[in-house]
Structure 1
Amino acid sequence: MQATAYTYDPENRTGSVLLDDGTPVEFGAEAFEAGGLRLLRPGQRVRIETEGAKGDLRITLVTLQTF
């Protein structure tokens, strides 16, 4: 699934993304580290992997979207 980086805290390695429908979803450090990223800027397109249903969506991986 694709999303747009919305917030990122480099100290805690946590943040949030906006799904394409505008829904914000937070991610933890473990999801950020699973993607192998070192930095994330708001506005960047990312690829995410998730678990759960829409109301209880949990991000398990965040990485940069490549074309």
Structure 2
Amino acid sequence: MQATAYTYDPETRCGSVLLDDGTPVPFDAGAFDAGGLRLLRPGQRVRIELADAADGSTGEPGRRRVTLVTLQTF
């Protein structure tokens, strides 16, 4: 799935993306590290993978979480 980088903190490696419908979805350092990125700028198009937070991870059941964020290449 594609999204747009919205926020990113290089110290914590956490941030959020905006889905194409404008919905913000946060990501943690694990999702950022899984993509192999070193830096992310707001406005960059990214490819993400989502999982339901009820899959055994922490978070509210039914909420989506990003498991991978990497740059979108054409």
Q: What TM-score comes out, normalization by structure 1 length?
A: 0.95
> How many Å apart are 1:52 and its aligned residue?
1.4
**How does 1:12-27 map onto structure 2 within 5 Å?**
12-27=12-27
SS in 2 for 1:36: coil
> How many Å apart are 1:63 and its aligned residue?
0.1
Query: What's the counterpart of residue 36 of structure 1?
Result: 36
Runs of 4+ in 1 over 3 A off after TM superposition: none
Select the structure of larger CA radius of gyration: 2
Query: What's the counterpart of residue 60 of structure 1?
Result: 67
**How does 1:43-54 map onto structure 2 within 5 Å?**
43-52=43-52
Distance 1:58 1:41 in 2: 20
CA shift digits 1:11-44 (9 cap, x unpaired): 0000000000000000000000000000000000
Distance 1:26 1:38 in 2: 18
Q: Which amino acid aligns with 1:64?
A: L
Query: What's the counterpart of residue 6 of structure 2?
Result: 6
Q: What TM-score comes out, normalization by structure 2 length?
A: 0.86
